[in-house]
Homo-oligomer: A and B are copies of this chain.
Amino acid sequence: MKKKELLFVWALFASLWCGAQQPTERYPLGAYEELTDTKPHDGEEVWNKMQAPVSLAWGSIDVRYPKLSIPLETKKGTTRMSAWKGERVHAQAVLWTRQALKNVQVKVGELKNGSSVIPASAVKTHFVRYVMTDELNKDGKGGCGHRPDKTQWDSSLVADVLDIAQELDVRERCSQPIWLTVWVPSDVKAGTYKSLLTVSAEGLEPLSLPFEVKVVNRTLPSPQDWKFDLDLWQNPYAVARYYQVPLWSKEHFDAMRPIMKMLANAGQKAITASIMHKPWNGQTEDHFDSMVTRIKKLDGSWEFGYAAFDKWVEFMTEDIGLKGLISCYTMIPWALNFDYYDEATNRVVFLETKPGDAAYAEYWGTFLKDFARHLREKGWFERTAISMDERPMEAMREAIKVVRAADPEFKITLAGNYHPEIEPDLYYYCIALGQKFPADVKKAREAKGQISTYYTCCSEAFPNTFTFSRPAEAVWTMVHAVAEGYDGYLRWSFNSWTADPLRDSRFRTWAAGDTYSVYPGPRSSIRFERMTEGVQVCEKIRILREEFTRKGDKGKLSRLNKMLTKFTLEALPDGRNHPEKDVNELHELLNRL
């Protein structure tokens, strides 16, 4: 038998054996089947060595447990977490079984500390589900570039999705990780709180694991009060497609509400708004479109409509609670085509023009003047920015000229390389990992109230949040911002879902998972939870620094700063070998200092 045939038989076998089926529903929101795991795994003879038919133990939040093998390095005793009041902490348990289990359920009661209680409503558990991923580029240097042929990349199922199902069947010879989150209330008293995590199933004697949360006597504020500037770009168009609801309809907003609330709870500040068709040339599965309507009347005059923009901004501000920047993309798209509805022809027309052209200045200048008027009317002008991605310097300068001509007070943002030539123009400036703001520039920007952040994207092999990235990398990424003195972090994609995001995180470009970190449902992910953990860490660092500075406690300040050197650019080459260790040591310090 040839290798290819063997693989085929293996796949067939695995499929029958562990029960994965091909997807039937196109856009599942409720129960769904994972794709087939075709990787080598523990055989029946290994599974048969289990002492009991079903086991439950604590694992690590740093590990993505393989689906078809017995989990390694688990422990049966108590798992211990530490948290500030108001902080979210997590743990991971693993259930593994050599027999099929029906209706598996997880229950966690309230946590008790004498007469003090953390209520059960503060605790969530999720079955961790498996999604198809791929790998870094062959040179190991990142995940950029097109991937038209999936067979060219090694694909495998990885544990990432935190399911919302309360009940699940688990097939024979499978591991089923369970994610536990405790969101410690702000008003509990410090001390150690104890509870049990219990797994039941049809015909199974319930299995339990004890856990504790040691609540430290410090308080993390609510996410909306965090100072860390997190910006994950939102894609409303992906939600409309996946949920099969009309764009900007009530159903659309209903679908987006819990998704965007997850984002707000992670500390998101800015609202992503698109003010043109395909600001990024339609690079995502669902391209962004204009939230602004442009009509060229028969008499040559322009009419602008803000119905979608207003609804989106109002929703994100009022319903979701984001009060930060309204980042409007973009005047300098990757394809210089600008659309409008032409009353003469009743068709959408694309104007090809570029910064510096009179037609460009007329198209954008006319719009921006009217947009400024509208924004002032809505009381949003001060929080709105005309946002750009890295483009050639000449194009950026010409675009800035047009913005300034329309309204000199418009805020402008850029996510790109560091350019001293235009730095003063940029209210919000996000530069790539590895680049730095000169110290005096950063200081001057702070003094002017300007925001300076950094971003990662497909370029980074480490740290990243691909579906195959090590979970601790998500924390490392956030802490790096603080360690390097940035005000926050930007990632271009919060929910630019693939065609079948719940089952397959691979995309036609970039390494798998690059385009989203939450799943339809909505479902969180190991990556998103750990990213949020990272933001919490950053807030805790800020609070401690403020406290130590206020108290003049140089010793503690210095211990903290020394720990942070493990998250700097200089530490990165070595740190990538043990982000888990660095993150854990940092946690330990933050809860001890």
- Could you tell me which A residues sit within 8 Å of B by CB distance? 246-249, 277, 289-290, 292-295, 297-299, 305, 307-308, 311, 339, 341, 343-348
Contacts and interface: CB of A to CB of B under 8 A. Distances in A.
B311 A307 contact: no
Contacts of A307: 297-299, 343
A289 B344 CA distance: 10
A422 to B, nearest CB: 30
A305 to B, nearest CB: 6
Given A293-B346, A308-B346, 20 more contacts: A248-B298, A249-B344, A289-B347, A292-B346, A293-B343, A294-B346, A295-B295, A295-B341, A298-B307, A298-B308, A298-B311, A299-B307, A305-B343, A307-B343, A308-B343, A341-B341, A341-B346, A341-B348, A346-B348, A347-B348
A346 B289 contact: yes
Contacts of A292: 346
**Which has the most chain B C-beta neighbours within 10 Å: A277, A341, A345, A346?**
A346
14 contacts: A247-B345, A248-B298, A249-B344, A289-B346, A289-B347, A293-B346, A294-B346, A295-B295, A299-B307, A305-B343, A307-B343, A341-B341, A346-B348, A347-B348
A243 B191 CA distance: 84
A115 to B, nearest CB: 54
A344 B246 contact: yes
Contact of A248 (B247, B339, B344, B347): B344
B298 A346 contact: no
Contacts of A246: 344
Nearest to A292: B346
A286 to B, nearest CB: 12
7 smallest beta-carbon distances between A and B, as pairs = A298-B307, A247-B344, A290-B346, A248-B344, A341-B341, A293-B343, A247-B345
A346 B299 CA distance: 20
Contacts of A308: 298, 343-344, 346
A307 B246 CA distance: 29
Nearest to A347: B348
Nearest to A345: B247
A483 B341 CA distance: 50
A357 B289 CA distance: 31
A31 to B, nearest CB: 31
Contacts of A298: 248, 307-308, 311
A455 to B, nearest CB: 28
A417 to B, nearest CB: 31
Contacts of A248: 298, 344
A310 to B, nearest CB: 9
A24 to B, nearest CB: 27
A65 to B, nearest CB: 42
A314 to B, nearest CB: 12
Contacts of A294: 346
Contacts of A249: 344
Contacts of A311: 298
A289 B343 CA distance: 11
Nearest to A298: B307
A292 B346 CA distance: 8
Contact of A277 (B289, B339, B346, B348): B346
A259 B339 CA distance: 33
A348 to B, nearest CB: 6
Contacts of A297: 307
Contacts of A277: 346
A2 B277 CA distance: 58
A248 B277 CA distance: 26
A219 B292 CA distance: 62
Nearest to A246: B344
Contacts of A295: 295, 341
**Residue picked from A246, A249, A345, most chain B C-beta under 10 Å:** A345
A5 to B, nearest CB: 47
Contacts of A305: 343
A525 to B, nearest CB: 29
Contacts of A345: 247, 289
Contacts of A339: 346
A305 B297 CA distance: 10
A72 to B, nearest CB: 50
A227 to B, nearest CB: 35
Contacts of A347: 289, 348
Nearest to A341: B341
A569 to B, nearest CB: 42
A7 B248 CA distance: 65
A408 to B, nearest CB: 28
